[in-house]
Structure 1
Amino acid sequence: MLKHGSDLSGTIVKSNRPIAVYSGGDVTIPITSSELDSILSQLLPVEHWDTKFIVPPLYPRSDYFIRIYTFHPNTSVTIRNETHYKTQNLTRGHFLEELLGNGPVVVNSSQPVSVVQYAFGENHDSSSHGDPIMMVIPGIHQFSSDYLFPTKTEHNDMKHYVAVVIKNNSLSGLQLDGQMLVDKIFPVHFSEEDYVVVVQELRGYFHKLTHVDQTIKFGALVYGFGYNLGYGFPAGFEFTDIGR
């Protein structure tokens, strides 16, 4: 275990054998919060990083922030949503942190990067529910055609969601447990391609997310909030090698 009193972001881990790397910490998000919470996520190896991401909103939360981590030198990163546009050059091992609103955001980069999404803690916004969470965002090339995933259900006040990123012309064939997704739809008009984000509240223990056309690929993130509780994870990855 590598431990430090400061931020370990940008640390490079190498191994001559396959390993899994987890990162996180005990944090206050926002820093002015009086609550200390733990966040943790398994990280993607560099070869599975990507150059294009669509980050979904964490509905019903009012905002979130992202960090974009680089491995390659001289990486140009662009962040864009309906009200925000920013381009910045990053060097190897550095990161860019950006606070965003309650809509989707598109991240493009000149070389593969890793994008991580963070939710704020309890009482940050009017929803008043939910501890901080940390989720590694799958890039467009890591989208898959079907997902199986559980939800955390032992707490009665928890609300659970799945956020799906899919091309608009493929939306009608998307199915959750055999039914169409009809909850919240967020257009991504500022993307080079016509994507949408669909956020659906979940009920039950295990779920299957599919498309009637098995060649259609889409991204999915699962998350939930409750009193002093929060969790989030990507539903899966295609594990396409493009990062090196």
Structure 2
Amino acid sequence: MWTGEFCDKKVKDVCQPNPCYNGGNCAAKGNRYTCTCTKDFSGEHCSDFSGTFKEEYIVMIMWNHITEDSKPSSLYLTTNTSTTIQLTIPDDLDSNNEMPNGQFINFNSEMKIALPPKLQSNFLQKERKAVRIKSTEPISVVLFDNNDHISDDSSMIMPRSKLSTTYMVVTPRTFGRLQNVIGVFGIAALDEDTRINITLRLHPKTTGSRININGKSYGHLDSFEISLNNFETFQVGSYTLDFTGTIIESSKPVAVFSGSRCNMSLDSEMCSQNMEQLPPTNEWDQKYIMTPDFDETMYYYRIISVEDTWIDIHYHAWNFTGRVLVTGGYTRRVEVNTNEVYLTGSKPFLVARFMAGNTTNSDFRKTYMTIVQGVNQYKRLYKFVVPEQYVENFVTITIQASFIQDIRINGQTVDPQMIRYQKYANFEYTNLIVEVLPGPIEVTTTSSVPFGLAMNGYSSLDAYGFEGSAIFP
């Protein structure tokens, strides 16, 4: 805008740069302005947070790395409405202001946050290294935990409302010839004075199966206690031991993660880390459906239960059902080649799946880990970000067969040319694997029927995967 006798004097735009914070809109009125704030903010410059946080997430970066690393891990956040978040880490870990620590951030679709390597937890040390995210609306949070510049694995982060006080650990074992797979599990506290009792289950259960923790030796079924405060983490790891079946009980809700530092498939020379957040035992299900990878390669899965549980394992391709008894605290590893598997249990149980796959033109398979989504945990809407650093990315949808035509990906029907796999899981459900492009993705149905969803992808030297049981309610 110009003024003056000859219109040669430029009027300063009081809205440039925008003086309104947190997404507020500026409206100029002569040489003055007013800010119209988004729903969670108020004040002259929209700098005062006036919203209410409805959900909270706690993130832990496990030390799954072979060498010291300088590459950040990443958080991908998505929402389906205008949402304000506040991300908080201990002040001494953000002395260089690398992160938006403590700031209020409003977003409407998706955002990515880099987590510096100094947030990686170490073995057998109580450390203030957790990351807390508060949000005014339910959001999906996916962690990509970087390993040594070449390997990520991912996990969907559970909201505080889904966390509890009793967990059972499941960790991977090697696919191939590598013997020193380092099994790990970690705990992150949300509250002050959280007392935690850990009853170890160590495999193999031999006389020499012991681990030193804080100067004391522990064996199979031994217990020890720790106390954690808000933001504190504690991680346990071993080169020789499998911690599957370990019980974690706490006085207040905590977040528990598990995985392995280095896993390797039979045809690979490269380590691949495995990582996943574990659900508490009260979030377990009694029905699970599993799908092989798009190229129908081998995977295995582990079943764990708190109580003695009969598991029916149905192979639809063979029209065969077997029955096994999983005793409380026992882990059962089942090898599967190229078939869908439908599991039902007499009591709630948990299933962890370990995949070894690759890109279409790669000779090396990389491994990843997921916690399988129970049938009763299926949702009507999933929204997340497909990362850009992978060559091929796939979404696996498990849905009642009569509703498969109702699936919509970003509002569109499924492109038949992008379908890589489609088979019946049982007489009721079918599995569909669709290749998708990087970027935000929303999967829903026109009939609003609940369905299961898993996400995975590959590059030439890496693989990742997660399932969608912790997404929008």
Which TM-score tier does this pair reach, normalised by the shorter chain?
A: 0.7 to 0.9
- Counterpart of 2:305, as a letter, is T
Q: Which residue of 1 aligns with 2:331?
A: 95
Match status 1:197 vs 2:431 = yes
Q: Which residue of 2 aligns with 1:63?
A: 298
Q: 1:151 to 1:52 in 2, by over 3 A?
A: same
Match status 1:108 vs 2:344 = yes
SS of equivalent to 1:120? strand
Offset, 1:26: 2.2
Q: Is the contact made by 1:77 and 1:109 (CA closer than 8 Å) also made in structure 2?
A: yes
SS of equivalent to 1:172? helix
In structure 1, distance between residues paired with 2:311 and 2:236? 28
In structure 2, distance between residues paired with 1:100 and 1:236? 23
In structure 2, distance between residues paired with 1:239 and 1:101? 33
Offset, 1:39: 0.6
Q: Which residue of 2 aligns with 1:12?
A: 247
Match status 1:154 vs 2:389 = yes
- Counterpart of 1:36, as a letter, is C
Q: Is the contact made by 1:40 and 1:134 (CA closer than 8 Å) also made in structure 2?
A: yes
Q: Is the contact made by 1:28 and 1:34 (CA closer than 8 Å) also made in structure 2?
A: no
Correspondence list, 1:1-244, <5 A: 1-4=235-238, 5-30=240-265, 34-72=269-307, 74-81=308-315, 82-83=317-318, 85-120=321-356, 128-155=363-390, 158-181=391-414, 182=416, 183=419, 184-188=421-425, 191=426, 193-214=427-448, 216-237=449-470
SS of equivalent to 2:353? strand
Q: 1:95 to 1:206 in 2, by over 3 A?
A: same
Q: Is the contact made by 2:394 and 2:435 (CA closer than 8 Å) also made in structure 1?
A: yes
In structure 2, distance between residues paired with 1:92 and 1:152? 38
In structure 1, distance between residues paired with 2:464 and 2:340? 19
Q: 1:238 to 1:77 in 2, by over 3 A?
A: farther
Offset, 1:100: 1.0
Q: 1:201 to 1:238 in 2, by over 3 A?
A: closer
Q: Is the contact made by 2:297 and 2:356 (CA closer than 8 Å) also made in structure 1?
A: no
Offset, 1:33: 5.5
Larger Rg: 2
In structure 1, distance between residues paired with 2:438 and 2:299? 26
TM-score, normalised by the number of residues in structure 2: 0.46
- Counterpart of 2:356, as a letter, is F
In structure 2, distance between residues paired with 1:51 and 1:148? 25
TM-score, normalised by the number of residues in structure 1: 0.86
In structure 2, distance between residues paired with 1:238 and 1:220? 10
In structure 2, distance between residues paired with 1:71 and 1:8? 15
- Counterpart of 1:35, as a letter, is M
The structure in which a higher percent of residues are strand is 2
- Could you give the per-residue CA deviations for residues 49-75 of structure 1, whole angstroms, max 9, x where no partner exists? 111101122112422111111111x21
Q: Is the contact made by 2:358 and 2:463 (CA closer than 8 Å) also made in structure 1?
A: no
In structure 1, stretches of 5+ residues that fail to align are none
Q: Which has the higher contact order (CA 8 A, sep 6+)?
A: 1
In structure 2, distance between residues paired with 1:79 and 1:126? 33
Offset, 1:6: 0.6
SS of equivalent to 1:132? strand
Equivalent residue pairs, number: 232
Q: 1:168 to 1:159 in 2, by over 3 A?
A: same
- Counterpart of 2:353, as a letter, is Q
Q: Is the contact made by 2:311 and 2:326 (CA closer than 8 Å) also made in structure 1?
A: yes
Runs ≥4 residues deviating over 6 A:
none
